[in-house]
Structure 1
Amino acid sequence: MSFNYFIPSRILFGKGQLSELHNQSLPGKKALIVTSAGTSVKKYGYLGRLEEELKKANVEFILFDKILPNPIKPHVMEGAKLARESGCDFIIGLGGGSSIDSAKSIAVMASNEGDYWDYVGGGSGKGMPVAVDPLPVVAITTTAGTGTEADPWTVITNDETNEKIGFGYDKTFPVLSIVDPDLMMTVPAHLTAYQGFDALFHSTEGYINVVANEMSDMYALKSIELLGKYLSKAVNDGSDEEAREKVALANTLAGMVESTSGCTSEHSLEHAMSAFHPDLPHGAGLIMVSREYYTFFAKSGACSQRMIDMAVALGKKDAKEPMDFVIALLELQKACGMDNLKMSEYGIEKSEMEALAKNARHTMGGLFACDPVKLSDKDVVEIYNKSYK
């Protein structure tokens, strides 16, 4: 038995926790609030509530609200420049994974010279060490999807090269995270599903990952169990407070899985899809390839007991075969109305599959080394082709 455990983020979890922000020891007196280009955080009053909390804490703030659902490098650079020129002490990410991921990347570039891609390790990134510590990050999540409030990872797309790559290290963990299920009550059903399946796959990938360990297994199985029981309830009745709370917990646990184990190549496959087609929601892309992806591993025999464990956790208590996990997964997708997503509806064409496979390996090749059995380029193309609708 062997594992490394380091999750330094202070997490405030539960209903009403946003109202406790002003009572916390915040890492400075001037903040850059990073949030999406959409309207939901303003429409539902979350931004206003955050601003009131900062006023109570005597913290000045500036708003940067340009972040896209698949965030891009130019906005990282623009936000970092604003933070520097405004003399901000720390960064607040308010919103879903895209806003919080962007906050982490902006925090890096607010302290360091050059281009963000200088520090990214995959694809055309230079993989340079981060010379100066990033600004501290406070994460306030309004969705239950990426678990970024409990991990150091940030995913940004280089829109010039169609590279969507993850980055992060010990210093990009948030110093403080607020997970308040009240802020998730307004998420539409389809986005609740996309986000919930992203959390699920963080946990399933972390469980079959070759670096899985006692700690990550504990978090992964609990997260899978909660999503199996509550995700469809949250999707089908967004006002179900218990379901929202349990899905939020599952998501934070999935972030802890990301911090103690990690993703496998399923995320590499999806990153390629949404790098070329940025209108594709990340969670939707993962759902699209998931049946064939997990079927490949079920049939490989490389992680049979772990597939059975995940099937049991997902609710199939009589599971005896690896394919029982795939069956349970498809049942959950159907219960959430996610059983007929089509790549073609997002402009993906059958002729792209080899290019997508090449991009997946080029940009996020490191995750292929985490798979329980080797996936060849031919295997990846076959998974894409079998997933295509």
Structure 2
Amino acid sequence: MNKFQFSIPTDVIFGCGSLNRLSKVGKRIGKKALLVTGKSSMRKTGILDRVVKLLNEGSVEVVVNEGVDPNPKTNYINDMVTLAKEEKCDFVIGLGGGSSMDAAKAIALVVANGGIIEDYLPGGERANMRGIKGALPIVAISTTAGTGSEVTMFSVITNPITKEKPGIGHRCLYPKVSIVDPELMVSVPKSITKNTGIDVLFHAIEAYISKGATPFTDMYAKEAISLVLNNLHKVLEDGTNIEAREKMAWANTLAGIAITHGGTIGIHGMGHPVSGHTNSAHGATLATLGVAFLEETWDGHIDRYASLTELLGFHTSNLSKEEAAAKSSVALKEVLNNIGATETLSDLGVTKDMIDPLVKDTFRTMIGCIKLTLKELNEEDLKRIYEKSL
């Protein structure tokens, strides 16, 4: 067994009704919070008012901004940094899905270290993240079973000028506390439930077939895959199925821990530029690329891909290991078809003339994911995967 290291510094409060502990959480973290969330759903469902009330009960003053886009933009982050400084906020809360939590992390980073968020993205003067002195404390309140941002040290921000959607990572971006209350997820629309559920699945898959995989990450990734296969279709059929919602929330948390320690591979690496150029939902980009990616990479590690085929529910007892590995893409396609994830890149607005820029963006902003893939990939390989996914 190879040597490896792991750490889960976030205090995770998980389970139905766990939001009720927010008053005590807020009270011990700070006195004034900047809370960022999406543009309507949290207010419409009453969750935002409930969160503010709980924080006030803990003697925490709250500055609310409801301007987070599905793919949070650099200009928004910089505006919120200014607001947090003007209001003298001493911690940041992300309420919602991955976009709100990622925005909170980026804001907390820049407030504590100065400059603008572009300084920390690829090409920026602080992109190497050296000399970072920490971040404001971050509280993540997850309302979707997707992204895993509540337990990761990553934040993904879109630059609307360059159309790049890179990730940044640093230990200071781990939330201090994360609240995962499945009751908050019951009202999530079916389309978002599907796309976030797909993201959970790919987090687990990619952590399992990553060069960074360890016995620790395998344990989380395999359980997450099983939970998604057994429960995503249930919440798509009935969004009020609280037991299935709870299991999807747990799968999301497990998969988030897996990618924090094992990383994501080229599927995420190629998916981020698609979102940056088309503003497509993250889960949808992964679903459109995943099958072709496995078709092109299964021979990079026969044992791992053969095992993945089994984990995805495909019977391999009569197949050789090589045959089983080659079927990983077939197994994934069946899983995606069963939940109605049949879109192509063309459906997301990608055209053939966009492929070269997408390839270049992948190598410029997401090279870490490409390097974690078990098969070495060059620009021609990525071009072929994009073309097959149209």
Q: Give 1:130 shift.
A: 4.7
Query: Shift of residue 297 of structure 1?
Result: 1.6
Closer/same/farther in 2, CA of residues 36 and 368 from structure 1, 3 Å limit: same
Amino acid at match of 2:296: F
Give runs of aligned pairs for residues 1-389 of structure 1, distance below 5 A. Answer: 1-24=2-25, 26-37=28-39, 39-120=40-121, 122-123=122-123, 126-127=126-127, 128-278=129-279, 280-298=280-298, 301-318=299-316, 320=319, 321-339=324-342, 341-388=343-390
| TM-score normalised according to structure 1 size | 0.95
After the TM superposition, which of the residue ranges 128-137 and 9-18 deviates more from structure 2?
A: 128-137
Distance 2:380 2:94 in 1: 39
Question: Does the CA contact (< 8 Å) of 1:232 and 1:332 recur in 2?
Answer: no
Taking a change above 3 Å as real, the CA distance of residues 124 and 28 of structure 1, as seen in their structure-2 partners, is: closer
Contact 1:123 1:163 in 2 (8 A): no
C-alpha contact 1:5 1:260 (8 A) present in aligned 2 = yes
Stretch deviating more after TM superposition (313-322 or 111-120):
313-322
What secondary structure is seen at the aligned counterpart in 2 of 1:32?
strand
Q: Which amino acid aligns with 1:75?
A: Y
**Deviation at 1:333?**
1.1
CA deviation map 1:177-218 (0-9, x unaligned)? 000111111112221111111111111111111121111111
Q: How far is the alpha carbon of 1:12 from its aligned partner? A: 0.7
Q: CA deviation digits over 1:304-332, x for unaligned, max 9? A: 22222223223235464013332222122
Report how far residue 272 of structure 1 moved.
1.0
Specify whether residues 240 and 317 from structure 1 end up closer, same or farther in structure 2 by C-alpha distance, changes over 3 A only.
Answer: farther
Distance of 1:54 and 1:126 partners within structure 2: 34
Whether contact under 8 Å (1:229, 1:314) holds in the other structure is no
- Give aligned-pair identity as a percent: 37
Deviation at 1:110, TM superposition (A): 1.3
The CA deviation string for residues 141-163 of structure 1, in whole angstroms up to 9 with x for no partner, is 00111000011100001112122
Confirm or deny: 8 A CA contact 1:123 1:364 kept in the other structure: no
Q: Any idea what SS the aligned residue of 2:300 has? A: coil
Shift of 1:94: 0.1
In structure 1, C-alpha distance between the alignment counterparts of 2:330 and 2:184, rounded to whole Å: 32
SS of the counterpart of 2:165? strand
How many Å separate the matches in 2 of 1:125 and 1:358?
21
CA distance in 1, matches of 2:355, 2:123: 18
Across the aligned residues of Structure 1 and Structure 2, the Cα RMSD in angstroms comes to 1.5
Q: Which runs of 5+ in 1 are unaligned?
A: none
Map Cα deviations across residues 280-325 of structure 1 (whole Å, 9 max, x no partner).
1111011001110011122xx2222222222322323546401333
Q: Distance in 2 between matches of 1:375 and 1:147?
A: 26
Counterpart of 1:102 in 2: which secondary structure?
helix
TM-score (norm 2): 0.94
